[in-house]
Amino acid sequence: MIRHRREVLEVERYRPGSSGRIRPPVALASNESPYELPSAVRTAVICAMGQGNRYPDFEKTHLTQALADHHGVTPEQVSIDNGSSSLLRHLISACAQQDHIVVYPWPSFPSYEHATLFAGATPVRVPLDEHWRPDLDAIAAQVDNRTRAVFLCLPNNPTGTTVSHEALITFLEQIPPEVLVVIDECYHDYVTDPSAAQGLALVPHFPNIVVLKSFSKSYGLAGLRVGYALSSVAIAELIRAMIVPFAVSTLAQAAAAACLEPQVQTVIGERIAATVAERERVRRRLITQEITVVPSHTNFLYLPAQSDAPTRVHAFEARGIAIRAIGSDALRVSIGTATENDLFLNEIGLLKHS
């Protein structure tokens, strides 16, 4: 065996939403968009295939400018990579190493822990509050001179909860300016509460924060892998120093840029609204059956108090429906089309009632 860092093989690997190699007919485990690519995006991908013999645009020039225009920032504040998970690994690798700590709420996105451990740093999990939200006061209390980064998933995966914008400001004011704060907003497009936290609005005021966003969820490009970060110019330069060359394919860049065109934005907006409406319909139905469901700001629902959750997942899979176990006593169910959601609701008897 070659000499290597032993801890690399000791890190628990990321588990995809479906346990089988064949995707179940009703895929409600991975928080994907249930909709096919809009026609204009599909056309852009097909056209880009003609350039497949050449390397992708190294600087992602067109997409970078399009994102800067879309969010009202400068191109120098935009960093793009092969999914937001790659970006968060780059950030931790650049900031943390042995004897450093990284703090985040728990349960939350497992990649925060993976990135921390791969960097050789120590992860610090902070339990959610009684409403299944990130406990900002408790997180702030864990920050000390060894802390190099804090992760906040807003809204939080897997619980679908978020915090108020004012609470986020108060939290950031408590964090030393030399500590990186990563605000993961991959599900922010599904938020309808005007008082909810908005990380991008705070980038000009807190130069130590970076906001992560994704084309995998509301934009439906999960199979093409495009994520991006919005930050100060200094943090963006740090990210770009870490990025693997040519990691975002020509097809992915073309698809993402097409998603920002006005006509596609209209389609995406309609799909987001439909998903939010379905989210609330499914939640109401579960509540009428006395099943505990956490109010969600995302495209999924979190069901705590589901004892022996893995067994329930297998029971749903046997009926062609993929959902996700969160530990041993909770489930996460993505919102699909109305038809897919009805198929899930038809098997409601497999859930544990309150």
Contacts (Cβ under 8 Å, ≥6 apart) of 93:
115, 118, 119, 242
Per-residue pLDDT, averaged over 112-122, amounts to 94
Contact present, 146 and 288 (Cβ < 8 Å): no
Average pLDDT over residues 211-215: 98
Helices 262-288 and 338-345 cross at an angle (nearest 10°) of 20
Per residue in 164-189, pLDDT (tens digit) is 999 999 999 999 999 999 999 999 99
* pLDDT value for 353: 81
**SS3 for 304?**
coil
Give residue 20's pLDDT.
Answer: 47
CA distances from 38 to 34, 63, 220 (A): 12, 18, 9
- At a CB cut-off of 8 Å and minimum separation 6, what does 173 contact? none
For 132-152, write each residue's pLDDT tens digit.
999 999 999 999 999 999 999
pLDDT reading at 11 higher than 80: no
Is 40 in a helix, a strand, or coil?
Answer: helix
Q: Report whether 128 contacts 156 (CB < 8 A).
A: yes
Cα–Cα dist 138/190, whole Å: 26
Mean model confidence pLDDT for the chain: 94
> What pLDDT is recorded for position 19?
47
pLDDT at 21 over 60: no
User: What percent of the chain shows pLDDT beyond 70?
Assistant: 95
- The answer to whether 134 and 105 have CB atoms below 8 angstroms apart is yes
Name the residue type at position 252. Answer: A
Instruction: Name which of 251, 187, 182 is nearest 215 in CA terms.
Output: 187
Name residue, tokens 């997180």: 139
**CA 69 to centroid of chain Cα atoms:** 22
Whose tokens are 């120590």? That residue is 122
